Amino acid sequence: VNVSTKGVSDFVEEATEVLEAVLRELAELDRAKGKPLDPDLLNRIFRAAHSLKGLAAMFGEERIAQLSHHAEDVLDRLRLGRLELSSEVLEALTETMEVCQLLLFETARGEHSAAATARATELGGRLAGFSDQAPPEGADPLDLLELDSQVRNVLTEYEEHRLRENVQQGLAVWKVRAVFDLADFDQGLARLSSKLRQFGEVISTLPSSDPGTGSVIAFDILFGSTVSGDKLKTSLTDLPTSVDALLEGREPPTPPTTPLAARTPPRPPPPPAPEATVPSAPPPQPEKTSEADPRPPSQRPARTAVAQTVRVEIGKLDSLMDAVGELLRVKANVARLAERSGEPNQGARLQALRSELHRESRLLERKLGELQKGILEVRMVPLGQTFDKLERMIRRMAHSAGKEVGLNITGAEVQLDKLILEALSDPLIHLLRNAIDHGIEAPEAREQQGKSRQGLVSIKAMQQGNQVVIEISDDGRGLDPERIRQVALEKGLLSLEQAARFSIAELQSLIFLPGFSTASQVSELSGRGVGLDVAKTNIGQLSGTIETRSQIGKGTTFTITLPETLAVIRALVVSVSGRTYALPANAVLEIATIEQSEVRTVERREVIRVGGRTIPFARLSRLLGLPSQPRARQHVLVVGRPHRRLAVAVDELLGHHDVVIKPLRGRLRQIPGIAGATDLGDQSPVLVLDMGSIAEEDINPESRAEVL
Amino acid sequence: MHLAPALMSYKILIVEDSKASREFIASTVESVDGVEAFATSTGFEALKLLSRQRFDLIITDINMPGINGLELINFVKKSPSYHQTPLFVITTEGRSQDRDKGLALGAAEYLVKPFERKYLEGLLLRYLKSA
């Protein structure tokens, strides 16, 4: 099959949506464990796998086609009641969809790795290995129905199965005939179907051309329900319908011990017939019927939401954002011109022109603000998208580490720039792996310490102003400062003198240094080589910070603070040793001007007093490895976080700018301390500094100077 | 590929709920000169289109929510204005029961995904020429 690249991107787009939906629905299926199986949910998952397979095959994506074929087969057997939904099956299906995502990712990039192929093959084998349960014995329950063969001929295998299930559970089966005007039958039919769904399961909708006239169309709806005929008829009086019983509901309800009922999911028993109702009995109708609804209303909004979403390539938003950045610059120029035109002793005309220019410039500013806000909102996605993925991952990680771990997620609704969220996924996974691997103890060890066998990992997201704070905590063993001290000494990350004077908090922050890892053996989970330093660098590149708080024996909390968006930030522009740099304005807590004489030395460290507090002092020129000229008066920026502040001296403050940060590429990308580059409107690039990691590195300076 | 004299046009209805698959079929169909494709994702929409417009050929998937492909075939084959219209069903491998029902209801041909463009083109030529 020869398909164009456009075809491939269409395929990737649709398959991505399908996979995301399936994974959500599988999670829903997992949460509903122990409850009656929702046939509609299962059918939706089946149908998604079915169309994924068709799609993949159509586009020649052999690996995805093969794997989704196995998944479809398993799902088909599940929904036809031939295979039991065990947790092994559910697990394998979830993993299958994740591997499909991986394969899809490779497709999108034109890759084809042997590792992914091997995983797909393994999973396919696992799926194919699930065997059917024994088929039910006895007569086909469908023979009980007064179903004319014409109707039976148009039922798909699945619809037949659903009909059989309804009959076996002793529900009444009705044929509801409705006649609608051809012009707007879809609305009438939708109304009828949703009304019927309140009482039971719509099994099949058969259009019929029987009436023969051109202007109306009839439908026969097969409907299984616990509701009585009278009630059904009265509730449908406002719709052009007639109701026929194909099978009366059985009474009393099916005893749950019959072999057939035992292997089918339990369903609410039919309510007692009206004449049998005992006066004292509570009216069971509303609850019973809502339980019988095979599609809980909570599932519907999600589907609507998908339908009402437009997928936009993030690149398009980026270019829009670039345009806004340009416009902001133009606006600044207009404002400056307005300012300059304000020289005194000018004619009245010029004065009027000037005030008009001012007014227009303010209008431009307001509109630009709206545009910017609009684009930013489009880029925002709820954290829940990523949390869903993490939840599955945690379950699996805990399982393979032999730990019992509960998960508590709050703040899934908090929104973050899509690009940040994407880049955040790896560091989050890393922190969670750490928590499960090194934080949470084995169940027996926990019991010995008087803790619950099950450990708890929490992910908590909060919006704070224009920042988003994400906390990852565990109630495990905590970071042992003594062990950290020992390891840091062994690895030469700490001098004896430092080891002696570092506070617990300072010791704990050493876990972010490259080459540091307290795990004495490398586990399969945490892997080798990627340490917390990488997570920290990643977060720094997002203009975010990460810090840790830990109590031995009680647990560890990592707090990640991120800007809501990276697209446009307010930057403070400074000059140092004749060079210009920008730094995120939100990283600067305070600005002060000091005399050189105010710099004192305490314990071999330069400090200054700002706002009544003593803060370590450093020159940005030294931090960046640039030559510096001593100045009598200097500007000082206080950066860092509440307990780890640093006063950084710069030569000049050049003012605030709204800037669009561009990520750096190539070898520049991995340099800690640099968040990206921007231009201030004069086309010459300016580096944007990541003050968080620069402040940190004051403890452990590295050679970065060559590239600056 | 030429099928019809310049002014002649055949209209084909495609009912398939998977978007990429629908577009693949539509583009294949439209690659044949003189053929116009009308594609929809649901049986309901298909009924609406059928009530408004004449089609020379119908291609439908079987497994669709709402009105399934079999029900659509049944409807079409019983409708006085369409019972002669050739109809192809699209199936996926392994669903022989559904496929057989489709053929029993009067579908002229079935296509098993994945199929080659050439194969569908061949079928179109054969059925439209005789239409």
pLDDT digits (tens, 9 = 90+) for A370-421: 787 777 777 788 888 788 888 888 888 888 888 889 888 898 888 888 878 8
Q: Which residue has the tokens 């800007």?
A: A563
Which pLDDT score is estimated for A461? 92
Upstream peptide bond of A135 is cis (omega within 30 degrees of 0): no
List all residues of chain A from 258 to 317 with a beta carbon under 8 Å from chain B. Answer: none
**Interface with A, mutate which of B49, B113, B115 (most A CBs under 10 A):** B113
Q: What's the rounded mean pLDDT across residues A207-229?
A: 78
Any CB–CB contact under 8 A between A11 and chain B?
A: yes
B96-101's contacts with Cβ under 8 Å and 24+ in sequence apart are B97/A157, B98/A156, B98/A157, B98/B62, B98/B63, B98/B69, B98/B70, B99/B62, B101/A153, B101/A154, B101/A156, B101/B70
Residue A74 confidence (pLDDT): 93
Confidence of residue B12 (pLDDT cuts 50, 70, 90): very high
Query: Which one is predicted more confidently, A346 or A235?
Result: A235
List CB contacts (< 8 A) between B70 and chain A: 153-156
On whether the CB atoms of residues A698 and A623 are closer than 8 A, the answer is yes
Tokens of A198: 């309140």
Report the Cα A367 to chain-centroid distance in Å.
31
Burial (CB count within 10 angstroms: exposed 0-12, middle 13-18, buried 19+), residue A311: exposed
Distance CA A9, CA A659 (A): 32
Res A362 pLDDT > 70:
yes
Q: Which helix (H) or strand (E) holds A36?
A: none
A519-556 pLDDT tens trace: 443 443 343 335 687 788 888 878 788 888 888 889 99
Give the integer Cα–Cα distance in Å for A417 and A421.
6
Locate A260 and state its tokens: 């057939």
DSSP structure class, residue A564 = S
Q: Which of A55, A150, A153 sits opposite B20 (nearest CB)?
A: A55
* End-to-end Cα, chain A, rounded Å: 51
Q: Which of A242-256, A501-515, B60-74 has the lowest mean pLDDT?
A: A242-256
pLDDT at A624: 83
Do B75 and A207 touch, CB atoms closer than 8 A? yes
CB atoms A212 and B93 under 8 Å: no
Cβ-based contacts of A14 with chain B (< 8 Å): 18-20
A174, A225 contact by CB (below 8 A): yes
SS3 assignment, position A200: strand
Whether residue A435 lies within 8 A of chain B, CB to CB, comes out as no
Distance CA B62, CA B57 (A): 16
Tell me the chain A residues in contact with residue B84 when contact means C-beta distances shorter than 8 Å: none
3-state secondary structure of A602: strand
Q: Which of A179-183, A620-624, A661-665, B123-127 has the lowest mean pLDDT?
A: A661-665
Of A1, A54, A65, the CB nearest to B117: A1
- Which tens digit of pLDDT belongs to each residue from A265-303? 444 444 444 443 334 444 444 333 333 344 443 333 333
Q: How far is B83 from chain A (nearest CA, A)?
A: 11
Residue A101: which pLDDT band, with cuts at 50, 70 and 90? Answer: very high
Select the more confidently predicted residue: A691 or A664.
A691
Write out the two tokens for A682: 């004069």
Predicted pLDDT at A269: 46
Radius of gyration of chain A (CA): 33
8 A C-beta contact, residue A439 and residue A589: no
pLDDT of A276 reads 37
User: Mean pLDDT, chain B, as a whole number?
Assistant: 84
Residue A227 and residue A273: Cα distance in Å, rounded?
A: 9
Comparing A144-148, A275-279, A321-325, A614-618, the range with the smallest average pLDDT is A275-279
Cα angle A215-A219-A220, degrees, rounded to a multiple of 5: 155
CB A708 within 8 A of CB A687: yes
Which tokens sit at A134?
């024994």
What is the Cα Rg of chain B in Å?
14
Is A245 within 8 Å of A172 (Cβ atoms)?
Answer: yes
pLDDT bracket for residue A45 (50, 70, 90): very high
What gap in Å lies between CA A322 and CA A328, rounded to an integer? 10
What value does the mean pLDDT take over residues A610-628? 84
pLDDT band at residue A47 under the 50/70/90 scheme = confident
Confidence at residue A535, expressed as pLDDT on a 0 to 100 scale: 82
Of the given ranges (A517-521, A557-561, B55-59), which has the lowest mean pLDDT? A517-521
pLDDT score of A311: 62
Interatomic CA distance for residues B2 and A519, integer angstroms: 71
b/e per residue A202-222 (b: at least 16 CB within 10 A): bbbbbbbbeeeeeeebbbbbb
Q: What is the pTM of this model?
A: 0.47
DSSP assigned state of A662: B
CA distance A376 to chain B (A): 29
